[in-house]
Amino acid sequence: MKKKIVVLASGNGSNAERIITFFRENGLAEVTLVITNNPKAGVLERCQRLGVKSKIASRDDFYTRHQVLDWLKNEQPDLIVLAGFLWLIPAEIIRAFRNRIINIHPALLPAYGGKGMYGHHVHEAVIAAKEEKSGITIHFVNEKYDQGDILFQADTLITPDDTPESLAEKIHQLEYRYFPEIIESLL
């Protein structure tokens, strides 16, 4: 029987699409639901094109009405994957799915993590600090931003002519390569 993955995404959804297509090709698992907190997120168009069920959740759905927890309990995923999801996961969801929620962060944690450190903000900070390398961190999700146990890291060198945009592209290549493989190893 195929394993079930639920993806939470807030933005464009390129990592979500990569995960969906990776598991369609290898047959181990299936992304059965994508949840977004952004009604204008590009991930919704990707889901429609790929035939994956999606839902839009409001802040109240997450934190007050516990609707998202109900959706997750109904779906019974083997793994919940945060792929560019920007909200802190409520404690009751973490308790219900302990060690079954992972996130990918576009830097080498513990550096450049925490609230507000996502996407271009991370790359701008790394470039401004004149770091020699950056990378990705895949980690379990706990009650604090980017502080769960680290599962995997991969790095890339930063050249003197890198910009936040060119660094972002290097990071995306690491994400696309390694995120599905780490998910597969966890399943």
Tokens of 81: 């994957």
Q: Which of these, 29, 7, 4, 28, lies nearest to 17 by C-alpha position?
A: 7
Please check whether residue 179 is in contact with residue 83, taking contact to mean a CB–CB distance below 8 angstroms: yes
Q: Report helix, strand or coil for 36.
A: strand
> Which residue's structure tokens are 């936040």?
164
Which of 105, 120, 139, 172 is flagged as catalytic? 105
105 is catalytic: yes
Q: Tell me the sheet residues that pair with 22.
A: none
Backbone phi and psi for residue 98, each to the nearest 5 degrees, phi listed first: -55, 135
Active site residues: 105
